Structure 1
Amino acid sequence: MINFNGKIFKDDDLFLNHTNRALKYGDALFETIKVVNSKIFFLEDHYFRLMASMRILRMKIPDNFTMEFFENEMLTTIQSNHKENLAVRVRFTVFRDAKGYYLPHSNNISYIVETDTIDAPFYLLNEKKHEIELYKDYFINSGLLSTLKTNNRIINVIAGIYANENDYDNCLLLNENKNVVEAVNGNIFVISGKTIITPPLTEGCINGILRKQLLNIIDKTNEYTIEERAISPFELQKADELFITNVIKGIQPVTKFRKKQYSNEVGKDLLKKLNVAARLI
């Protein structure tokens, strides 16, 4: 069952048409949210990121689009799918709902809420092989728009296809300065000793919710030092660890990049701290 503007439809019901601006122009934003037993992980962060992104894209935010409304629409959709007591991945998509070409006739919005069941209620460390490579055919532009979760993710799509065709588990994306920005499906962290490095938002990486949580966790500990700075591909083979983060999987350790093999001790430690933070929500 899918929630479209507050009405519940069956998965195979037709409720969109060829004029949809998300389809025609990628004029849409989305949030991917983890919900366990009807408990929404990092609700405030998701809501405020969506609101900020809508303002940047000049979308009109309805007066009733409060955090309580945002929460209720997700829980209503979960209940309609009888998943109240399961671990669920929610995709909340907002698109500009107007006719027009590049210039829309209005900035009004519509929304769609979808749910999928996932296996793990909390974050688990996946220690299976996770080999990566650089994707160099196309580049992410550094700047504010690249940090938003818009529907314009074509580089991520073709980089994922490239990884699959060449038997890699993931690819790292570069910006126009040839610096490492992120992975196909999340932010990247590089560990050298007790120093943890991740690209700043000015490099064009997605403004990830898990990225924000880990920055807060690391900032509060005396065990590690965090640096937000540009990362050269040459640094990857000198690092002790690499891991990728997103709100569904948590922390995914990288096991191999070219001839370099990585450990996962820091990632394992931070995952414990992340689960503590998630339980305190």
Structure 2
Amino acid sequence: MVNLNGKLFSSEAEILTHKNRGLKYGDALFETLRCIKGDLFFWEDHYFRLMASMRIVRMEIPMEFTMEFLEGEIKNTIVENQLENEAVRVRVTVFRNDGGLYSPLTNTVSYLIEVEKMESPFYLISENAYEVELFKDYYVNRDMLSNLKSTNKILNVVASVYAQENGCDSCLLINTDKHVVEAIGGNLFVVHGDTIKTPPLADGCLDGIIRKKIIEIVEATEAYQFAEESISPFELQKADELFITNSIVGIQPISKYRKKVFKNEIGKNLVGKLNAKARMAQTS
């Protein structure tokens, strides 16, 4: 079952019309997160990112859209799907209500909550091969809209098709300055020795929640140095490790880029710290 504005519908129900602005114009934002037995991973971070994004795109934030209200709606949807004792993937989509062409008739919004069962309650490091390639057909813009978790993801879709056509698991995206920005499904981190580096938001990468948590972990760990700097494609084959982060997988190691095969030592170390951080957030 899915939750549309507080009402529960069968997941097969046809509840959105051809007038939906998320469908017609990509006029929507979304958050994906983990929920483990009723505990939402990093919910406060997700909530405040959603509220900030709604302000940036000039959506009207309803008075009832408190952190407690949306958390309750998510948990109610999980219970109605009989997943309260499971690891759950949650997606909350907020879209401007119907009406208008590019210029909307209203800035009021609706929300849709979807949930599905996951296998693992915590973040795990995959030992499977994961090969990436650079996607150079189209570019990420260096602006604030690129930082948002919006449904304007046609670049990511086309890059995913390119990856499938070329036998890769994912692609790395570049911006208009030809700097590597992120992967199709998350933020990118590059490891050189004890330095862990990720592109700055000014380069156009997603303002990812797990990106933020990894930065906090690295900055608090004496064994590592952190750098938030632009990444040249030429750096990739010189790196010791590459990994991708997002709220569902946590840390996805990259095993191969072109002819370079990468280690996966720091990624394994960080995933334990990430799980510990998630548990601390749940109990605080």
Shorter-chain TM range is over 0.9
Deviations 1:73-132 (A, max 9, x none): 110110110000001111100000031111111100000000111111101110110011
Unaligned runs of 5+ in 2: none
Match of 1:83 in 2: 83
User: Which residue of the partner structure matches residue 261 of structure 1?
Assistant: 261
Partner of 2:195: 195
- What residue number does 1:213 align with? 213
Count of residues in correspondence between the two structures: 281
Matched position secondary structure for 1:238: coil
Is 1:22–1:96's contact at 8 Å kept on the other side of the alignment?
yes
Aligned-CA RMSD value: 0.7
- Contact 1:218 1:226 (8 Å CA) reproduced: yes
**Deviation, structure 1 residue 70:** 1.2
Contact 1:218 1:224 (8 Å CA) reproduced: yes
Partner of 1:40: 40
Please give the secondary structure, in 1, of the residue aligned with 2:163.
helix
Superposition TM-score, scaled by structure 1 size: 0.99
User: What residue in structure 1 maps to residue 167 of structure 2?
Assistant: 167
1:62 aligns with 2:57: no
* Length-normalised TM-score, structure 2: 0.98
**Identical positions, percent:** 56
Helix, strand or coil at the partner of 1:191: strand
Distance 1:13 1:192 in 2: 50
For 1:267-278, list aligned pairs within 5 A. 267-278=267-278
1:27 Cα deviation from its structure 2 partner:
0.3
- 8 Å CA contact retained: 1:98, 1:107: no
Match of 1:237 in 2: 237
Deviations 1:157-185 (A, max 9, x none): 11111111111011000000110000010
Q: Report how far residue 233 of structure 1 moved.
A: 0.3
2:169 partner letter: D
The runs of at least 4 aligned residues of structure 1 exceeding 4 Å deviation read none
Specify every segment of 5 or more residues in structure 1 that has no aligned partner in the other structure, as ranges.
Answer: none
CA separation in 2, counterparts of 1:94 and 1:269?
Answer: 35
Counterpart residue identity of residue 26, structure 1: G
